Amino acid sequence: MRLVETVEELQALADAERAAGRRVALVPTMGALHAGHLSLVEQGRRRADRVWLSIFVNPAQFDDPGDLDGYPRSWESDLVACRAAGVDLVFAPQAAEMYPPDSQTWVEVEELSQPLCGAARPGHFRGVTSIVAKLLLAAKPHVAVFGEKDFQQLAVIRRMVRDLGFDVEILGAATVREADGLALSSRNLRLSPEARRQALCVVRALDAAEQALAAGECRSAVLLHLVRNEIGKAPLARIDYAELRCPESLSPAPESLDCPTLLAVAVFMESPSPSDEAVRLIDNRVLRIPEGLP
């Protein structure tokens, strides 16, 4: 497995792979790798001859310096995981490599970046799209793989690639979950044992909405009430947002659902200890109207 730290070296390697007729898949990450990331590697392996993975904790997508400082980092274990998963190359640049001191260029997808996580974290998606654009230009992959857990991020990146004409396929991979249903996330490592137990309220909320829809309840307000009520049963949970949106445009869902609809949830899980910061978790589910319903 090769380690690369500069854009120049990565671009040269990408040119060599393309000249040899080999396909490259890129898996962008911020490290603290878990089974969810490794499932993206598996997806990339099915679509390409080489799988490259980037590890870069992107400062531009954090609106809270404390959140950036507290983001988990596990460099040595990440490399072990990459080798075991058969990753061919790890790109791990320093911040100055991706953001030179005189850097003044940003990439922004305007409308899709506004709701949900964009409303709660101003500037977040500008940081995401800028770094993904830089990674795509550096690695020149044929396909780049992202998890569907970050549904809005995936939608924003797809729009950026379409609008700017990047020659790359953006592949979404299904959310990987722990045995009890909690979506895998690097942030799960920061949950206290009690917060981890109560975090299952997010999964139960998604289930409640899906089950109600299957039983014929299509009213958006009722479905969201069920979601908020289920999360409200967890004393340590504080809702950031719970919304129903169109999966493609992320526009608000109609009062009565009549087509597949994204249910997106973000929750702060407080710690029993007042000195510990809350951990923000996100999850989603695309709700589908059962056959036979109007």
Between CA 146 and CA 39 the distance in angstroms is: 10
**Taking a C-beta distance cutoff of 8 angstroms, is the pair 32, 9 a contact?**
no
Q: Which two tokens stand for residue 68?
A: 């950036």
Pairing of strands 261-269, 279-287: antiparallel
C-alpha distances (whole Å) from 109 to each of 100, 120, 130, 156, 170 are 22, 16, 10, 7, 16
Q: Which two tokens stand for residue 44?
A: 């990339």
Q: Which two tokens stand for residue 152?
A: 């809005």
Active-site annotation, residues: 37
Residue carrying structure tokens 């993904």: 132
Residue carrying structure tokens 């044929």: 142
Between CA 261 and CA 287 the distance in angstroms is: 5
Q: What angle do CA 97, 113, 173 make, to 5 degrees?
A: 75
Q: Which two tokens stand for residue 87?
A: 């990753």
Between CA 57 and CA 9 the distance in angstroms is: 20
DSSP sequence for 22-74:
--EEEEEE-S---HHHHHHHHHHHHH-SEEEEEE---GGG-S-HHHHHHS---
